[in-house]
Structure 1
Amino acid sequence: MLSSLRTYWDRLRAGRIAPYRAEIDPRQFEQALENMFIVEKLAPDNLRIRLAGMKICEMMGMEVRGMQPSCLIDEPDRTRFGRLVNLVMSEPAVVELSLSAQNRAGTYRASMLMMPLRSDFGDINRVIGCTSGGGEIFAAPLAFQIDEVAVSPVEPGPAPTPTAAQLPDIEAKALMPGFAEPASSFASAAPKLRSIDGNPNAPSTPRGATKLRVIDGK
């Protein structure tokens, strides 16, 4: 799940540092939607979860949208986790975590992937993430501890050559932003006019004209 999502993100950025939030197509990773989340930076010290899949909420035992992303992590590792989330956007970088949580069902192990996203204005102030657990048996809420961290800085590179199957999507996206067609120019060609001398079908007396008679008298 995490590997396929990273491959999609890497293909979508097409050699750029990060793709735009509006470019994300959920239909491309439907199997991972329940495990995904998106974090937005509202201020240097204000991070909020904007979207969270059903599986994420089940792990936490509550709805986590609008909450700080540190709620996903056990308290001793929350400061470290906050630095890693900010690192994804500031470096920018791809961060992979190995997690574990102790609960009544035993030790629950999971992996987390976090990658940078751009806003509509071009700022890298969002993180798209996904958490893949080791099974369906766990006792919520889970408080994950960070066991291992892998940081991969993102470097710009050449855009990959699109395949024949990808060309229709690329051509459709060429109309963005706003899904609008290019506006026509104000400078347009002069209308073609044809000079007509007289009208053979015109009546000899104009319609509606007043009939006058001149009287010569003293």
Structure 2
Amino acid sequence: MFGKSDEERDVVSMTDREKERRLAPIRLLEAYWHGLAAQSGAVPLRSQIDPRGIETALEYAFLAERIAPMLAKLRVAGTHLNEVMGMDTGGMPLSALFAPKDRDRLGEGVAQVFADGACVRAELRGEDGFGRSALSGHLLLLPLRSDMGDMTRMIGALVTSGRIGRTPRRFHIASMTVTPGFEIAPKPVAQAPHRVELAETPAPFKPAPRQSEKRPHLRLVISND
């Protein structure tokens, strides 16, 4: 009586489908990161990132470097970030994409990425104003290690929904989720075979005593008769 009819079960929400399509770059980047982490049992190195592994997400992805406990500088950024800001974002602080009152909150998340190896996800809302229509966004930040092994790099992605309109477009943080300290199982380490101590001291080898030589019981007698 209260179940869905066959027609209702066949209906596919276009809103959900559009959201899944929009978030596909973020899901791809996150799955790629987890794949690298599972291989080594640790936060991936910056040098392990192969653009071919995230080819369909490159437009929305970026690499950043720690310049202060709560600040990261964009080193490489996809074309979508340039479109949002209306300029080349390479070399800019990540905080430049956010409204001034939201930068401290972003900085708290950035600090946890570098200090704890945390994952940060944020729902964003674009600033309003003349020539700026409604714009929403999704942000993902993931930690990376430098070749020296220190956690001073990050990889992330920013996707938006709506017309960008007049640039630059900066964002407010509607919500933020921080997952601290990824629990990555370390790779098993081969252990040396365990030496088993004998319960008793082994007795020294003693050769058996020599037996005196005996004459053979049979003798060969040759007779020429």
State percent identity of aligned pairs.
Answer: 37
Does the CA contact (< 8 Å) of 2:70 and 2:107 recur in 1? no
**Residues 96-107 of structure 1 correspond to what in structure 2 (within 5 A)?**
96-101=121-126, 102-103=128-129, 104-107=131-134
Return the TM-score normalized by structure 1. 0.68
The Cα offsets for residues 101-147 of structure 1, whole Å up to 9 and x where unpaired, read as: 02524210010100000000110101101001114553321110000
Q: Which position in structure 2 is the counterpart of 1:58? A: 83
Does the CA contact (< 8 Å) of 1:57 and 1:63 recur in 2? yes
Q: Which position in structure 2 is the counterpart of 1:157? A: 185
The two structures, once aligned, show a CA RMSD in angstroms of: 1.9
Return the TM-score normalized by structure 2. 0.66
Q: Which position in structure 1 is the counterpart of 2:37? A: 13
Distance of aligned partners of 1:77 and 1:45 in 2 relative to their CA distance in 1, 3 Å threshold:
closer
Distance in 1, Cα, partners of 2:49 & 2:109: 22
Structure with greater strand percent: 1
Q: Which position in structure 2 is the counterpart of 1:27? A: 52
The Cα offsets for residues 22-78 of structure 1, whole Å up to 9 and x where unpaired, read as: 000100111111111111013446531111111101101111111111101111101
Q: Which position in structure 2 is the counterpart of 1:3? A: 27
Question: Match for 1:129: what amino acid?
Answer: G
Distance in 2, Cα, partners of 1:16 & 1:31: 26
Q: Helix, strand or coil: the match of 2:113?
A: helix
Q: Which position in structure 1 is the counterpart of 2:66? A: 41
Q: Helix, strand or coil: the match of 1:106?
A: coil
Q: Which position in structure 1 is the counterpart of 2:143? A: 116
Spell out structure 1 runs of 4+ moving beyond 2 A. Answer: 42-47, 102-105, 135-139
Question: Match for 1:2: what amino acid?
Answer: I
Does the CA contact (< 8 Å) of 1:17 and 1:155 recur in 2? no
Structure 2 unpaired stretches of 5+: 1-24, 188-225
Q: Per-residue deviation at 1:3?
A: 1.0
Distance in 1, Cα, partners of 2:67 & 2:96: 17
Distance of aligned partners of 1:31 and 1:81 in 2 relative to their CA distance in 1, 3 Å threshold:
same
Which segment is superposed worse, 106-115 or 130-139?
130-139
Distance in 2, Cα, partners of 1:149 & 1:23: 27
**Residues 177-192 of structure 1 correspond to what in structure 2 (within 5 A)?**
none
